[in-house]
Structure 1
Amino acid sequence: MEAIPFSGRILDEAPSQLGEGPTFDPATGTAWWFNIKGQELHELHLESGRKAVHALPFLGSVLAVIDPARQLIASDQGLFVRDTRSGQLSLLTALEDKPANRSNDGRVHPSGALWIGTMGRKAEDLSGAIYHVAGTKVTRLYADISIPNSICFSPDGTIGYFIDSRVNKLMRVELDAETGLPKAEPTVLIDSKPYPGDMDGSVCDADGLIWNARWGTGTVDVYKPDGSMVARHKLPATQTSCPGFIGAKADRLMVTSAWQDMDETARAADPHAGKTFELGVSVKGRFEPSFRL
């Protein structure tokens, strides 16, 4: 499919080695995302443009609102509660006993439970897993995952999606809408392996369309729930990593990217690598659920 030319803008010029986990808090009008390898949490107030970067003592990758005073952060050291005013961090629970692993992609299910993926720090084969976290109860859903990505859910919470980017097949699984736990074995929805690039982070809009950042092709691809592609949007960075809905109506899309694994020549050829973008198209997005503690 021919890509639609980029008509958006650079939302933030600061290049992240590995930008990930974009999300938006409508109560404060603030977008949040991580530079995983740089151990940074980025905060951008959309209306004013006020920007802050918070240094982290770990490799953070996913943020979720708990309530106005607290956020949940997934990291290589476990799940932490962050005080939104002071930035103070307190451990909620560990994920797994694998010091060589870190967290990667994740998202909160409409039930308030978190799905979170882990992987080796050097993306070692089959080192990671995908977990379901309800409060402090951690349940391993899928083992032997190399690079967990594309964790997202249908608007009614009955369908979950995920991928191991090394395998490059987007999986679909029926879920219990009340708990976010699987009701059946996952099946392949999209076999993306034969095509250039890797499926990275995804998010589902209010119509159930899947918006996927495709690492290596500099695009955001849009799929129907049946797996058929309906659009491909071009971005000015090759390693696009994850999308997230932003704005007071969740009708805009932000996209993170990365410069990791690029030498000086590659970075010179890809000058916007690692920057954070607004796609520039109107979307029917939805706000992320809060994590139920």
Structure 2
Amino acid sequence: MIIDDTPCALGEGPIWHPECQQFFWFDILNKRLHTVGKYWEFDEYVSAAGWVDKDTFLIASATQLFTFDVETEEETYVCGLESDNAVTRSNDGRADPQGGFWIGTMGFNAEEKAGAIYRYYRGELRRLFDNVTITNAICFAPCGAIAYYTDTIVGKLMATDLDADGWPTGKPRLIVDLSDEDFGIDGAVVDADGNIWNAQWGASRVAQYAPDGTFLQAVTFPASQTSCPAFGGADLKTLYCTSATEGMTSPAIDDGKTFAVPTTTTGQAEHRVIL
């Protein structure tokens, strides 16, 4: 089901807000935060968010993290995000079970290894991984002890163990290797059972993998460049997915649109960011 007919140049960062029971997503290249039937425009690229309270998001932009009140439209600066680097912008991100917010950066033109992955946690922004070309698939196991991420150019979904405060420990390990495929690992989310749902750019689908990387199933969508999934709805059984028209000379009628399909899977409620 198409939930919004507005085609996104680069749909990303879908999030079901568990307190207001509302779905939001971004169109990065058009500098917009969307909800069904409405959008907010910003002065620079915006890409991902975590919820702080019923009306407030922590949003990542090309140069900063800031809070945004969807009722008053008030913006409040939190910290810089590669604000001195004119090459990069924010990309994929998600809140973790400990209340931190992970956000990746990448070059405006996907410059090789220009990006990094950061974590904002209780007032501190710390760089976790660098030399990443296209940061994606940031998501977390329900237990709070494992984080996943990828560099889409490399095509390998990685896992890293987390300590009690949510900081990575040890060496990241390979979970899914799609480096030989002709599609890309894009955004991802983890369901309540710990299975990973990955949007695959160029494959028109979201694929489900077990925690050990075993392929389980795929849900197809009528858009080629599926970009990021999220679970939502009152029972968290609706699978949402954004898509993009970026780079297409002749997009199909449903490319760039945002979708929702019912599933028998229960997702995790999106975690709250603790500022």
- TM, length-normalised to structure 2: 0.97
Could you say which structure has the higher strand fraction? 2
Which range moved further: 93-102 or 206-215?
93-102
Would the aligned equivalents of 1:218 and 1:234 in 2 still touch at CA under 8 Å?
yes
Residue 6 of structure 1 is matched in structure 2 by: none
For the residue of structure 1 that corresponds to 2:51, the secondary structure is strand
- How far, CA to CA, are the matches of 1:85 and 1:234 in structure 2? 35
After superposition, residues 1-293 of structure 1 pair within 5 angstroms as 9-44=1-36, 51-96=37-82, 97-176=84-163, 178-263=164-249, 266-267=250-251, 270-293=252-275
Q: Distance in 2 between matches of 1:58 and 1:89?
A: 13
Deviations 1:177-224 (A, max 9, x none): x32111111011111011220010000000000000000010110000
CA contact (8 A) 1:235 1:279 kept: no
State percent identity of aligned pairs: 39
CA distance in 2 between partners of 1:65 and 1:123 (Å)? 28
- Provide, for residues 73-131 of structure 1, a one-character-per-residue CA deviation record: whole Å limited to 9, x for no partner: 01102101112311111110012231221000011110001111000011110000001
- 3-state DSSP class of the match of 1:80? strand
* Displacement after TM superposition at 1:137 (Å): 0.7
- Structure 1: which amino acid aligns with 2:263? V
Deviation at 1:279, TM superposition (A): 2.6
Q: Per-residue deviation at 1:65?
A: 0.9
RMSD, aligned α-carbons: 1.0
SS for the counterpart of 1:184 is: strand
Cα distance in structure 1, aligned partners of 2:3 and 2:189: 19
Structure 1: gaps spanning 5 or more residues: 1-8, 45-50
Structure 1 moving runs of 4+ over 4 Å: none
Report the alpha carbon displacement of residue 69 of structure 1 after superposing the two structures with TM: 3.8
Q: 1-side partners of 2:228 and 2:68: how far apart?
A: 22
* Aligned partners of 1:120 and 1:146 also within 8 Å: yes
Aligned-partner SS, 1:161: strand
Instruction: Name structure 2 gaps, 5 residues minimum.
Output: none
Work out whether residues 18 and 270 of structure 2, in 8 Å CA contact, stay in contact via their aligned partners in 1.
no
- Structure-1 separation of matches of 2:231 and 2:6: 20
CA contact (8 A) 1:168 1:192 kept: yes
Give the C-alpha shift of residue 56 in structure 1: 1.2
**Equivalent pair of 1:32/1:63 in contact (CA under 8 Å):** no
Instruction: Give the TM-score normalised by structure 1.
Output: 0.91
Distance (whole Å) between structure 2 residues aligned to residue 173 and residue 256 of structure 1:
26
Aligned residues: 274
